[in-house]
Structure 1
């Protein structure tokens, strides 16, 4: 069963722009704040926390507004047009307080569009488990292109990172207009009113009564605490140690993500859920250790390996975790379960990680004003090891039902 080529092209374009917008400003955000606004580590972490706040509020926006009253493509367009204005204004601020307000508004409007883009895609597919990955991969390509453009234009070394907000705003405005041309995706017909319990996926909490899923759920929150260090400070780290075109180099992580996404079904078949999840966690700890001992000179290859591990870190935990949740949850609560795990990871886990990573980075400032990155990176490496041991000891894969067809 194949997807209509025209529909595939239109959905792929949507995904490309969706993640181009995100990658255009979020990757280099820490470096921009430190260099242009003189922000501290705590302030940088606070800025990245806007992603978590957006993720927490997203179910309300999608569940209360988009799913009930408006066609998905229209609310996608409105949110992106609003986000475009907020991104443009954020890049024109001279103090952190004003910047935080506009970036928060941008993220509150952007994070719900991730679910809306998926919804628009799924509604046009007869076999999402087979057809969606080849469309979603264009989102990863969009993120890569954004990083390559920043590197090619020399905005990091030239002190011109404010331009990234203009680029992101243009991309968001383009998608905002383009969204209104997408296939009509009206609200799903439901029996009775949508409740707060439905929106938050509280019916899926019953899954936590099973020990293994509870262990997985807790591990998902905990592993996102060290993940915040990667999202918040990798670009600043690369620029401080003297890596040229850092944003472009970071795109290697998304290349790796795309490749591992394609082989994920095979990995799950050969390794099973537990070993795949553990592989992702171990890669997390290894990545931070490599960052701790790498440099921009003869040991740059170590840093590059650490960046390439992003595909294993992300796909072997997040994607495999989504598949595990889909297998484990009864059909009637699968959507709610996916929403709950997203809220736990991108919301709660990254929020905690952002709150603790900033003060830790501030505690390791050298005399010359740079950071003692070895000491910093070994902390999330240690946290990842502890989470790995917790999961390896307590998770029992045999409690899960027999797997159905592998989905991604």
Structure 2
């Protein structure tokens, strides 16, 4: 349900902003930066969950507020109105990603988390059903790029808020009455984990890896709209179908290959994604796009979810929620913000008469990802016990 809420409206949202509401590219970029701003609140929400309230109740409250502000956002047609309301939506929604991870890892072994996260992918794929039902059963001319996805997300958010109350109790681990400090508020106690050089390398590479990742994740719907692809949400959701498979086997892959190789596999998949998009454009063969879409499962399952498992293994038990929040802050916060703005600027710069010169953007992302692969392979040294252990 948690990923169902998001996927319904986020996947086609860029098209809605640009083609339906006719916002300029830089305005679209600024509105979409709301996701990054919301992620930056994750460490603070992790602090609340760690110290003060049951995590499942915090999650229910956040989903309820998300639904309320999604409704308000659906009524907006101006840049300022959308910027404010979508930012509020994301401030309440984005912390739920790290919070659900922390709840799951409290009740199941961390190495089993990828299989539990598989349900999130199923929810993401199921979001495409709204589009199919609207178009083929109710004869809605245009679902993707309209306000209908927002209305669907509101309904899902309300149901999710109710279901959250029935999750296993996840009470605060920190019972001691320690004075709240600036370090706690900002989640800076998690910085101690950076003493682990391999984790430090992972965080830095993750920050830069999210920049090319956002080109597809944020602006992918604009690319497919320029390519005249129909049913954009359903088309892009094939990536989540592949993700379901790879999440199911992530534990086995981690056991066999260890963290370094698994994270490298994820980066190599991103190289394959943008390389296939580039080839597809250059040779005018859209079937190459299918490869780029399907690699999403490898990228997200191995690099990002594998990274969550790695973070859980590194972090002390009492700050795991904050550690997941810190990871979310770096990747989905600061990194996502940089990626959204940089790629938005590049799209605007390479915009031709009626569409963007996507070929150049995909070539740049391919080369950039190759550099990250080489750096990670050189700098990450799997010598300690954590990297060598068998899950």
Cα distance in 1 between the residues matched to 2:102 and 2:260: 29
Cα distance in 1 between the residues matched to 2:244 and 2:190: 30
Cα distance in 2 between the residues matched to 1:60 and 1:111: 12
TM-align CA RMSD: 2.6
Which residue of the other structure, out of 377, 394, 398, is the alignment partner of 2:383?
A: 398
Cα distance in 1 between the residues matched to 2:244 and 2:30: 29
Q: Pairwise mapping of residues 261-280 of structure 1 onto structure 2 (< 5 A)?
A: 261-280=247-266
Residue-pair matches, total: 386
Matched, 1:260 2:246: yes
Which residue of the other structure, out of 91, 102, 122, is the alignment partner of 2:74?
A: 91
Matched, 1:352 2:347: no
Which residue of the other structure, out of 130, 137, 144, is the alignment partner of 2:125?
A: 144
**CA deviation string 1:32-72 (max 9, x = no partner):** 111111123222222221111111112213423x4444333
1:189: how far off? Answer: 4.6
Q: Which moved more, 1:335-344 or 1:104-113?
A: 335-344
1:19: how far off? Answer: 1.1
Q: Pairwise mapping of residues 244-323 of structure 1 onto structure 2 (< 5 A)?
A: 244-294=230-280, 299-323=285-309
Are residues 264 and 232 of structure 1, via their aligned partners in 2, closer, same or farther at CA, if it must alter by over 3 Å?
A: same
Are residues 156 and 353 of structure 1, via their aligned partners in 2, closer, same or farther at CA, if it must alter by over 3 Å?
A: farther
Cα distance in 1 between the residues matched to 2:143 and 2:39: 33
**CA deviation string 1:104-141 (max 9, x = no partner):** 11111112223343444455x3x433664444322211
Task: Name the residue aligned to 1:35.
Answer: 19
- TM-score, normalisation: structure 1: 0.86
Are residues 128 and 234 of structure 1, via their aligned partners in 2, closer, same or farther at CA, if it must alter by over 3 Å?
A: same
Task: Name the residue aligned to 2:62.
Answer: 79
Task: Name the residue aligned to 1:109.
Answer: 92
Which residue of the other structure, out of 212, 215, 223, is the alignment partner of 2:198?
A: 212
- TM-score, normalisation: structure 2: 0.89
Cα distance in 2 between the residues matched to 1:317 and 1:351: 19
Cα distance in 2 between the residues matched to 1:93 and 1:401: 49
Contact preservation (8 Å) 2:225, 2:232: yes
Cα distance in 2 between the residues matched to 1:390 and 1:336: 27
Which residue of the other structure, out of 217, 233, 237, is the alignment partner of 2:219?
A: 233
Are residues 340 and 242 of structure 1, via their aligned partners in 2, closer, same or farther at CA, if it must alter by over 3 Å?
A: same
Task: Name the residue aligned to 1:242.
Answer: 228
Cα distance in 2 between the residues matched to 1:71 and 1:401: 30
Cα distance in 2 between the residues matched to 1:186 and 1:329: 18
Matched, 1:371 2:356: yes
Task: Name the residue aligned to 2:40.
Answer: 56
Contact preservation (8 Å) 1:157, 1:245: no
